[in-house]
Amino acid sequence: MAYLLELLQEDRRSVGGVFGSEADVLSLVKRLPGLHSDANYSDFYWLEPTEVPELTEIEHNGWLFPLCRASFSTFPSDGRIYVIWNEVQIFDEAPPHARSYCAGTMSINGYTFGMEEGVDHVHAREKLFDEA
């Protein structure tokens, strides 16, 4: 498995890259300047746009990750920049067992499910509609 890092604000999206482990993605995330976290929720991080430097470069495993304030809106109505990472499937890895679902999530009617749970939800929903 791998983890895709993204910085999200309204309709703005900055893809940070793919990491081999959650610990690796966190090692970069925790070095973002101005990073905020919520003590009540682990792994919930955000940036305030006005606190993002004009331009900074964060070195990670020999690569430079640039972070720029102009990539986001500083209008208060556009809100925070959320720092998220999601598990993603590397399809070039060893072949899966029969009927193995890829890593990731899917959105169904405003709810987010893991791939297998999402398929189960759709089947259960179809069954309810057929019975009605």
Reported pTM: 0.81
Mean pLDDT of the chain: 91
d(CA 57, CA 51): 15
pLDDT tens readout for residues 52-84: 999 999 999 999 999 999 999 999 999 999 999
Is 18 within 8 Å of 93 (Cβ atoms)?
A: no
Greatest distance between any 2 Cα atoms in the chain: 59
Domain limits, the chain: 2-88, 102-132
Is the predicted pLDDT of residue 119 greater than 80, yes or no? Answer: yes
d(CA 85, CA 19): 9
Task: Give the residue among 29, 22, 7 at the shortest CA–CA distance from 103.
Answer: 22
Task: Calculate mean pLDDT across residues 5-18.
Answer: 94
